[in-house]
Amino acid sequence: MNKNTKRDKLRIVIPNKGRMYEPSVSLLRNVGLEFEIDDRKLTSLVTNFDIEIMYASVANIPEFVQDGVADLGITGYDRVCEGEKTVDVIEKLHFGYTDLVIAVPEESEIKSIKDLEGLKIATSFVNTTLKFLRENNISAEIIPMDGAVEVAPQIGLSDAIADLSSSGASLRMNNLRKIETIIESEAVLIANKNLAKQSSEEVEMLKIRFESVLTAQKKKYILLNAPEALLPQIKEIAPGLASPTIMKLSQDGMIAVHSVINSSETWMVIEKLKKIGATGILIMPIEKMIA
């Protein structure tokens, strides 16, 4: 599709398979898009908005968004870096976590990236690896590979590899150890550079809905009972977005407190509240939240 071709529908492109497919579909449904998936088709029509969903390889998504084939896309940040495409990274989506790492055989004498000078590195992330090496003033030979990068040192093709690693299990299985992380990656929402100029109902709706769902993922709703005298301490521990909601209970001198806390601080907050005398502490997920 030519960059200047106009489409009636806003188009979102998401991974067609792999570990980011299901979370991407789930996210779009969480923001209120209603659609059915037909494995025989490359697109799905959203029934409640003028939006079309397209399915493609994660590696091709940055180019599709840059060239205007799609307006928005969900892909890995590693693919955005590797493709070197001109797109806007709108949001980090909190799934699809992985690192692009440099690894060497366990028995190798290579201890740091400085030891890679003049050696061979096998990778399918050629652009990202070359950029990293240049930034660190290292001259090494890149061996491009499309798959099975982990076996390159075993067959004598390279001295090291640069590849994606989530848990490190694949590296261990292939007798490799990490010596450096090139980039930390996760799923991201990207947009065509011209999307910001659009003011359609669909664009504005999606901006609000994505923000509300992603904000909610970072928060938890907390309810608790406590003596009213503890309120100043509770406000310090769980202040909420502005301040907690306070309600008097039928039991004299007791209050119920409702607040919002960061998900990452949940256990620390619970422990502190329990320690000062709060009871009936209840933690609940938040589905959507507009700050």
Identify the pLDDT of residue 7.
Answer: 65
Structural domains of the chain sorted by starting position, each given as residue range(s) with its CATH number in brackets:
10-95+187-216 (3.40.190.10), 98-184 (3.40.190.10), 219-285 (3.30.70.120)
Q: How far apart are CA 99 and CA 87, in angstroms?
A: 21
Between 181 and 4, the higher pLDDT residue = 181
Residue 41's pLDDT band (boundaries 50, 70, 90)?
A: confident
> Tens of pLDDT along 51-101?
999 999 999 999 999 999 999 999 999 999 999 889 999 889 999 999 999
Q: How far apart are CA 121 and CA 129, in angstroms?
A: 9
Give the range with max mean pLDDT: 128-142, 166-180, 231-245.
128-142
Q: In angstroms, how far is CA 113 from the centroid of its own chain?
A: 27
Whether 170 shows a pLDDT value over 60: the answer reads yes
Q: What is the average per-residue pLDDT within 204-229?
A: 90
Query: Of 164, 161, 155, which Cα lies nearest the Cα of 119?
Result: 161
Residue pair 122/157 in contact (Cβ under 8 Å)? The answer is yes
Sheet arrangement for strand 141-144 = 141-144, 120-123, 160-165, 98-105, 176-185
Identify the pLDDT of residue 98.
Answer: 94
Whether 6 shows a pLDDT value over 60: the answer reads no
For the chain, the distance separating the N- and C-terminal CA atoms, rounded to the nearest angstrom, is 38
Q: How far apart are CA 179 and CA 111, in angstroms?
A: 7
Whether 40 shows a pLDDT value over 60: the answer reads yes
Residue 291's pLDDT band (boundaries 50, 70, 90)?
A: low
Q: Per residue, what are the HEC states of the chain?
A: CCCCCCCCCEEEEEECCCCCHHHHHHHHHHCCCCCCCCCCCCEEECCCCCEEEEEECCCCHHHHHHCCCCCEEEEEHHHHHHHCCCCEEEEECCCCCEEEEEEEECCCCCCCHHHHCCCEEEECCHHHHHHHHHHCCCCCEEEECCCCHHHCCCCCCCCEEEEEECCCHHHHHCCEEEEEEEEEECEEEEECCCHHHCCCHHHHHHHHHHHHHHHHHCEEEEEEEEEHHHHHHHHHHCCCCCCCEEEECCCCCEEEEEEEEEHHHHHHHHHHHHHHCCEEEEEEECCCCCC
Cα dist from 121 to 36, 79, 111, 153, 155, whole Å? 43, 19, 15, 9, 13
Query: Of 275, 273, 274, 259, which Cα lies nearest the Cα of 219?
Result: 259
> How much of the chain exceeds pLDDT 90, in percent?
73
Whether 4 shows a pLDDT value over 50: the answer reads no
> Tens of pLDDT along 92-137?
999 999 999 999 999 999 999 999 999 999 999 999 999 999 999 9
Structure tokens of 265?
Answer: 């601080």
Residue 241's pLDDT band (boundaries 50, 70, 90)?
A: low
Residue 181's pLDDT band (boundaries 50, 70, 90)?
A: very high
Q: What is the average per-residue pLDDT within 197-205?
A: 75
